[in-house]
Amino acid sequence: MINEKYVSYEDFGAVGDGVTDDMPAIVKAHAYANENALPVRARDGAVYYIGGKKLTAVIKTDVDFGEAKFIIDDRELESITANVFHIASDFPSYTPAISKLSAGQGHIDFPHRGRTYVRVYNAEKRIFRRKGENANNGVDATDCFVVDGNGNIENEINWDYPTVSRAIAKCIEDTPITVKGGIFITVANRWERVYSYHARGFLINRSSVTLSGLTHLLEGEGEDGAPYAGFLSVSEAVDVTIEDTLLTPHKTYMTKDSNPPFYVNRMGTYELNFTASINVRLIRVRQTRDIVDTRYWGLIGTNYSKEIYIENCEMSRFDAHMGVSGATIKNSKIGHQCLSLIGYGEFYIENSFVLGHSFINLRGDYGSIWRGSITVKDCTWKPLGKGEMTIINADNAGDHDFGYECVMADEIVIDGLKILDSEVNVGAKLYVLPDYDRSFKEGKPYPYRTARRLVARGITTECERKVLPYLNKEQYAGTEIDIK
């Protein structure tokens, strides 16, 4: 008999012995809970086995996984993109009547009810036209933002949209839900080394969600395997918090080739993935593996998201892949895969420890764009290399159209940075700003605009090195430099 206060998986036939495939029962339990607005509670001590069937449990109510374990067996799958759980929106998406938008626009009129998530596209403009090893022709210009009940836009629009070729909107839930607890153990896939991204965790595209106290472990990573898109994937959602969560970085696999050197390209593989989402918060998120262990990829990758907040976290990577608009990192540690940025708005990092060849890497494959401000306050950096050090790294030869003007930043402020350089060569020099173009000259077709202003205070090193503003003075003729 079903409990009137909550739903259990055993109500629908789950065994929890770690052998029987309980996924059909899990799907039915959540469907019943959704229909009757009841929470779901897993049985402490149960071990729920989830096999390779193409099944997804849809979550629309509170869930307490407690101390139960879930074995997600990815060795034989009917679908590599069938997430185990989908935290789904209560509201359907619809097409809003939006024909054009302008960068920085503060108000918009279209029929909507309450706070509403909006995403727009312009098929006539291509952005993020990647350069280098994984070059491509980019993507349609896209923005996401929140509109309040009075039509005020809460998040700055990044691009002009003389034509909105496609748009989606959906109401933002007023009532939050919480998903907490649970130990999830993925038995890793055995696919060949190709870019066949597996999505076998949680897809979150409902707003107003908190995930708390989850643990994700990995078993069985062998000689071969395909990458993962993210165990926790937040897509087109607003106000999502992930807290007190322990995750496991995946082994880094190289793509195979029939000719030497056979393994030719590292494949990114993620535990956290944020796509076109707004106000995603990570609080006390950590990883099981050492943040300096180079055998494993980093936790996090983001695309098109806005206002990411990270506090008291420890992870081997933060990477804004195709842009983030506004990001804050506090009291955290970033490991061997570095702190990589592409995007706009305000980036602020405080009281954090960063490993890397630079303190901040503005990704060269996307033109090293940060259209906004960068602030570093009371942080520590341990360089990974032995030679020349650059606090802010960028790479742009001015010969590629990325789909936008490439800007280093409007203002860079460093207010306290301790550099642990005892393992760096004695004669190596320390620069704040990079030599971003080794063949620099005026008149390049797509010139890189450097920071308008650099302010640096309190940069110290173990070896008492002199802090130099740059290597190539000519590159920074338009930059106001203030270093003390």
Residue, of 265 and 78, whose pLDDT is higher = 78
- The span from the CA of 361 to the CA of 350, in Å, is 17
Residue 247 is encoded by which pair of tokens? 């995750």
- Residue 267: which pLDDT band, with cuts at 50, 70 and 90? confident
Contact 62, 177 (CB under 8 A): yes
- What pLDDT score does 319 carry? 87
Using the structure block, give the residue that is written with the tokens 């790479």. 395
The CB density around residue 425, as the number of other CB atoms within 10 Å, is 13
**If you average pLDDT over residues 344-362, what whole number do you get?**
96
- What pLDDT score does 467 carry? 95
Which one-letter amino acid corresponds to residue 1?
Answer: M
**If you average pLDDT over residues 210-230, what whole number do you get?**
94
Statement: residue 468 has pLDDT above 90? yes
- What pLDDT score does 195 carry? 83
**If you average pLDDT over residues 141-146, what whole number do you get?**
96
Digit-coded pLDDT (tens) for 299-351: 998 999 999 999 999 999 898 889 999 999 999 999 988 899 999 999 999 99
- The span from the CA of 211 to the CA of 100, in Å, is 36
- What pLDDT score does 258 carry? 59
Contact 12, 28 (CB under 8 A): yes
* Burial class (CB within 10 angstroms; exposed 0-12, middle 13-18, buried 19+) of 145: buried
State residue 432 phi and psi, 5-degree precision.
-80, -45
**If you average pLDDT over residues 8-18, what whole number do you get?**
97
- The span from the CA of 39 to the CA of 6, in Å, is 5
Q: Cα 242 vs. chain centroid, distance in angstroms?
A: 13
Residue, of 58 and 253, whose pLDDT is higher = 58
Q: Percent helix, strand and coil across the chain, each rounded to 5?
A: 5, 45, 50
- Residue 260: which pLDDT band, with cuts at 50, 70 and 90? low
pLDDT more than 70, % of the chain: 98
∠ Cα 230 235 241 (to 5°): 80
Statement: residue 1 has pLDDT above 60? no
Digit-coded pLDDT (tens) for 283-304: 999 999 999 998 998 899 899 9
- What pLDDT score does 324 carry? 94
- Residue 217: which pLDDT band, with cuts at 50, 70 and 90? very high
- What pLDDT score does 199 carry? 95
- What pLDDT score does 106 carry? 94
- What pLDDT score does 332 carry? 97
Digit-coded pLDDT (tens) for 33-75: 999 999 999 999 999 999 999 999 999 999 999 999 999 999 9
Digit-coded pLDDT (tens) for 394-449: 999 999 999 999 999 999 999 999 999 999 999 999 999 999 999 988 889 999 99
Digit-coded pLDDT (tens) for 159-196: 999 999 999 999 999 999 999 999 999 999 998 888 88
Statement: residue 198 has pLDDT above 70? yes
- Residue 263: which pLDDT band, with cuts at 50, 70 and 90? low
- The span from the CA of 403 to the CA of 152, in Å, is 28
Q: Map 76-89 to HEC letters.
A: CCCCCCCCCEEECC
Q: Give the chain's mean pLDDT.
A: 94
- What pLDDT score does 262 carry? 58
- What pLDDT score does 2 carry? 66
Q: Which residues contact 261 (CB under 8 A, 6 or more apart)?
A: none
- What pLDDT score does 196 carry? 87
Provide the b/e sequence for 266-283 (b: ≥16 CB within 10 Å). Answer: ebbbbbbbbbbbbbbbbb
- Residue 264: which pLDDT band, with cuts at 50, 70 and 90? low
Residue, of 4 and 400, whose pLDDT is higher = 400
* Burial class (CB within 10 angstroms; exposed 0-12, middle 13-18, buried 19+) of 143: buried
Using the structure block, give the residue that is written with the tokens 């002199």. 466
